[in-house]
Amino acid sequence: MKVGFIGLGNVGGKLAGSLLRNGVDLTVRDLDRKAAEPFLAQGAKWADSAKAVAEACDITITCLPSPAICSAVVEGPDGVLEGLSPGKIWAEMSTTDEGEVKRLGAMVEAVGAHPVDCPVSGGCHRAATGNIAILAGCDRETFEKMLPVLTILGRRVLHTGALGTASALKVVTNFLATANLVAVTEALTTCQLAGMDMNVAFEGIKISSGNSFVHETESQVILNGSRDINFTMELVLKDIGLFQGIADRVGAKLDVSPLLIEIFKDGIAKYGGGEWSPNIIRRIEEPAGIKVLAPGFPAEILDDEPEERGYEVTPARG
């Protein structure tokens, strides 16, 4: 099976690397040819357009920074749609808008191809090792065709239902991660101001009911001082904005989500959209005149789990 990958950024490059590392016949495309050079050096093929990727491959994967960019790549001139034909698959791995992926999916189906939205969750460190989680929205037959590739890209794969369901669920998870991040920054700042040993505080939270995936990962790069989690404030704001859009559409009156949006708008105004998301802590560090730091923590998070072939996760239903 030939797979094409469009978008070799922070996440996309790591996912494409898993395919290449596991012997997949891979064609790549990025606006920056330099981003593709390491893949080409290891045997991947280059395509001059998104159309050329779709023409050459059975599965075309897009992993791009925003819904607008994805739309341009799929339906624009020399786009994915122009290269698709009956039986092929377009897989959208970006964190995107549920309505937009459905709109593009209808165009994909109109040419006889099959759309899948399959965003990932778990951090860039797990994307790099093929241990990330994947949510996949599509009909069951398409999911079965896509599963051998998804189990190379990720460890745990969940079929969420019809097209669009994965994108909706993904932004729910990103909202929860963002709420955790903001809570962690407030907790760590308070611990330091209270004179606690920050190494002890980290371990205490980790072994307690207050623990979370965000604490185990992002707290470490906060305490190191690098704050490098390979995810920016502008991407956080995009994702929680998509979540708020779902809430607005279904009439959910929320308290925390609008506040998170305001916090990250303020962070972007102060530090720029390209600032690493854990540096949202600066909003409370700086007025307090402190820097939340502790020795012994890594500058970046690496996945210490061995790479293993993934599997489908089956929801419990009683």
Nearest to 95 by CA among 124, 59, 70, 76: 70
Say if residue 21's pLDDT is above 90: yes
Residue 318 is predicted with a pLDDT of 82
10 within some domain: yes
Q: Provide the CATH number for the domain around residue 272.
A: 1.10.1040.10
104 within some domain: yes
Q: Give the whole-angstrom CA distance, residue 318 versus residue 301.
A: 37
The average confidence (pLDDT) of the chain is 97
296 within some domain: no
Q: Are residues 52 and 84 in the same domain?
A: yes
Nearest to 26 by CA among 58, 51, 50: 58
Supply φ then ψ for residue 131, to 5 degrees: -105, 10
Q: Provide the CATH number for the domain around residue 92.
A: 3.40.50.720
Nearest to 18 by CA among 159, 156, 150, 157: 150
215 within some domain: yes
Q: Are residues 180 and 101 in the same domain?
A: no
Q: Are residues 74 and 185 in the same domain?
A: no
Tens digits of residue pLDDT in 129-141: 999 999 999 999 9
The pTM for the full model equals 0.95
Give the pLDDT band (50/70/90) at residue 2: very high
Q: Which domain holds residue 143?
A: 2-162+306-313
Q: Are residues 183 and 123 in the same domain?
A: no
Q: Are residues 83 and 186 in the same domain?
A: no
With b for 16 or more beta-carbon neighbours within 10 A and e for fewer, the 87-113 pattern comes to ebbbbbbbbbbbbbbbebbebbeeeeb
Q: Are residues 241 and 97 in the same domain?
A: no
Domain count, the chain: 2
Residue 305 is predicted with a pLDDT of 86
Tens digits of residue pLDDT in 249-308: 999 999 999 999 999 999 999 999 999 999 999 999 999 999 999 999 999 999 888 899
Q: Are residues 131 and 155 in the same domain?
A: yes
Nearest to 139 by CA among 156, 162, 114: 162
79 within some domain: yes
Classified as helix, coil or strand, 156 is: strand
299 within some domain: no
Q: Are residues 144 and 204 in the same domain?
A: no
**Residues annotated as part of the active site:** 170
